[in-house]
Amino acid sequence: MLFPLPEQTLAMPRQDKIILGILFFQSVWGVLSTLLLAPQSANPALFVDLNLVIACVGMIVALSWWKRNPWAHAIAMVFYGIQAVHVFTPAFKWSVTLGINAIVLFKLHNGETYGINFFALVMLFWVAVRLHAADSHIPSVR
């Protein structure tokens, strides 16, 4: 085996392994989609900088989750929380997704649009549930 898995990864509950895989995959996919979509952005430098920072945070969280760091759950919740809400008003715009999303938008008559990324919301809820699960692989949160 090229990269042997640490013993704690083998003992990690299946749900935690799935979350770890989704976090890592979404972060890698976020880097690729950011680089592909940057030329289409109104402000490519800002778009690339913010999305790459968020994608790198996702990769760090995934590796920290794998290493059983107690703060990994909290940062994963922030990672998905910032992707959950989307706001488009004439004065303010907030929309962050790293390639994987299921966004439902609500348009108002005054030109404002609000959205919810249900993929990020489900992941946020799942990470929160795993934070307090009896079989959590991170000993300090039980």
Q: What is the pLDDT of residues 91-102, one digit of tens each?
A: 887 778 887 888
- Mean pLDDT, the chain, whole residue set: 83
Give, rounded to a whole angstrom, the gap between the first and last alpha carbons of the chain: 32
Please state whether beta strands 85-88 and 93-94 pair in parallel, antiparallel, or not at all (unpaired): antiparallel
Q: Which two tokens stand for residue 83?
A: 């992707």
> Does the pLDDT of residue 137 top 70, yes or no?
no
Q: Which two tokens stand for residue 120?
A: 């990020």
Full-model pTM: 0.81
Tokens of 54: 């968020």
Task: Please give the radius of gyration of the chain, using alpha carbons only, rounded to the nearest integer.
Answer: 17
Q: How far apart are CA 83 and CA 24, in angstroms?
A: 15
